[in-house]
Amino acid sequence: MPTQLERARDFLAEWEYEFKQIHYQQHINHIHFICPCVHLTNHLASEAACVGSPICSSQWTMECTIGNLGQEIHQPSDPFSNLAQQGIRHCQINALLAMYPDLDLSQEGANPHTSEDLGNGYVLLPKCNK
């Protein structure tokens, strides 16, 4: 493990210990103060050496992707088949956008509806209620 990752591991372990001392204080009724992410930060450095960036191996990333795909299921009669089809469609779109970046139209018209582009990076935003 490179020396920077070792130092990061040591600092994160110290931070986790101090966080638990301040917020958890070894009381079982305070355990809800400790999120899984507090404990998992202690593993970031060692996991980075093994699997790379945490964003690529995080459980949260997978759960969000599964949740987003689950929202796109339109035929509840066969949810797993529909989920697989949505996953395939996303992979195909991502592959096309990687090969042909000009197809990505999400940046065009990125300003809010009824806003007006004033030029030079300025946009007049529509009124909104608080």
Phi, psi of 124 (to 5 degrees): -90, 110
Give me the sign of the Cα torsion angle 57, 59, 65, 66: positive
Q: Tell me the C-alpha distance between 83 and 71, whole Å.
A: 9
Q: How confident is the model at residue 108 (pLDDT cuts 50, 70, 90)?
A: low
pLDDT at 2 over 70: yes
The two most distant CA atoms of the chain are separated, in Å, by: 58
Q: Mean pLDDT across the stretch 86-97? A: 88
Confidence of residue 78 (pLDDT cuts 50, 70, 90): confident
Phi, psi of 117 (to 5 degrees): -75, 120
pTM of this structure: 0.38
Q: What is the mean pLDDT of the chain?
A: 77
Using a 10 angstrom Cβ sphere, with 0-12 exposed, 13-18 middle and 19 or more buried, the burial of residue 45 is buried
